[in-house]
Amino acid sequence: MQIHELKPKTSFKKAKRVGRGGKKGTYSGKGQKGQKSRAGTRFQPLVREWLKKYHKLRGYRFGTQGKEIVSLNLNDLEKHFESGEIISPKTLLEKKLIKKGQSRVKILAKGNLTKSLIVENCTVSKKAKEIIEKGQHVK
């Protein structure tokens, strides 16, 4: 084989330019009117519109993980705890009153409490605080 006998793999034929008259017909395969039939059409992707609606929040996972406050009532504590026990997110998790990852707990004053309990690392409503303190003085 000689150099003058070599042929390229690709052809030098240019791609067909559609939409400029010729044998393809009046609309040249582009339909009638509208933005899509014009030259240089470019629609913005729908995803962009969705992304624009979200707030610009900073930080790792936007600081939302574990922020929900789980509310528990005094009657729940009455059922599941003995007198003198410590109530904390860890003990609540062991008794399956809260789920894993829920670290913020608030105790509300619904129900009665006859036992003296020790509360740690939990927020307590004013009325519930009064009831718990009364129970601790009785012992």
pLDDT at 139: 33
How far is 109 from 71, CA to CA, in rounded Å? 10
Pick the closest to residue 107 from 138, 76, 84, 136 (CA basis). Answer: 76
3-state secondary structure of 101: coil
pLDDT at 60: 64
User: What's the pTM value of the predicted model, to 2 decimals?
Assistant: 0.50
pLDDT at 111: 87
pLDDT at 92: 92
> Is the CB of residue 80 less than 8 Å from the CB of residue 95?
yes
Domains of the chain, earliest start first: 68-138 (3.100.10.10)
Tell me the average pLDDT across 51-78.
Answer: 76
Specify the DSSP class assigned to residue 11.
-
DSSP 21-82: SSTT-SSTTS-SSSGGGSTT--PPPHHHHHHHHS----SGGGG-TT-PEEEEEHHHHHHH--
User: How many helices (DSSP H) and strands (DSSP E) are in the chain?
Assistant: 4, 5
3-state secondary structure of 132: helix
